[in-house]
Amino acid sequence: MDFRIALIKGDGIGPEIVDSATKVLDKIGEKFNHKFNYVDLIAGGVAIDKYGHPLPEETVKECLKSDSVILGAVGGPKWDNLPGELRPERALLGVRKALNLYSNLRPAKLYKALQQYCPLRTASSFDILIVRELTGGIYFGERGRRNTENGVEAYDTESYSVMEIERIGRVAFEAARKRNRKLTSIDKANVLESSRLWRETMHKLKEEYKDVEYSDMLVDNAAMQLIRDPSQFDVIVTSNMFGDILSDEASQLTGSIGMLPSASLGEGTLGLYEPIHGSAPDIAGTKKANPIATILSASMMLRYSFNLIEEADAIDNAVEKALDIGYTTSDIGGNLNTDEVTQKIIELI
């Protein structure tokens, strides 16, 4: 089978880690008789430098013509002083919006080989899937500044419709059915009206999924429970901002942010796959970057966009073997560089 994959390598370490992912995909193609064709596109800080805008129209058009998209990372201190609409991160929001990718899947798993790097002394193992709503909420609500008698006032509006809540809820319930059939919905229903609608909608939806154990949790309690006992969670579903914060918190419990992949999905099979870490410009070009999050993001692409389950399992198993043997970068105690870790994973496939 042939697949067309758009590559947005981005800034900082982005090009290095995307190259690692494509090398692994090429090995999968060789082993399982697939052909992955790559289209290099530009977005983020490098696009600002070249075109004066973080997301060229041509990049969006080419993404829409592709079977899926892999993104490295965007941003860096070089562009920190730009106005909000011109910051590199707007490219990421723009791609998600243009492709109508409303659900973000962020696994957080503590591998046995990395337990010593977990900051929790009592953690043994956990495997959590955070399902984050991606195109609604405070990040996309009405915003602005206005003059008041107390000076300038800034505002951002959190809003959700029943449709937006219901469709992300279904993604989460279906994901729970494929895992341990346990779903925790996280909101702030004791304060926010948008969260009260969120909870009402989720309660109606749970009647269709009686085979899934469902519970509600307030976001402040959820932040505490992730530290107290992360193993209590299976699938978590929550709003855009809460999901952004909690998934980063969960990532730190895995031993390294360099381990966490993500998938952004919509109604069809076209998805955006990326590591959750940033562009790390301080180590760009040094080959110190951990490529595993991006390699696992490519595995998620095989699984969720292409339904190539055996191929995805081959990558996941090779990564776990590499960790068990100790083929790792310095962030998780190893002494191999980006290319060497990539090559070891390829050899283990």
Residues recognised as catalytic? 139, 188, 220, 244, 248
Alpha-carbon gap, residue 112 to 126, rounded angstroms: 10
Alpha-carbon gap, residue 246 to 60, rounded angstroms: 29
Residue 316, burial from CB neighbour count under 10 angstroms (0-12, 13-18, 19+)? middle
Alpha-carbon gap, residue 294 to 305, rounded angstroms: 16
Q: Which residues contact 237 (CB under 8 A, 6 or more apart)?
A: 130, 131, 132, 133, 168, 169, 171, 172, 183, 184, 185, 186, 202
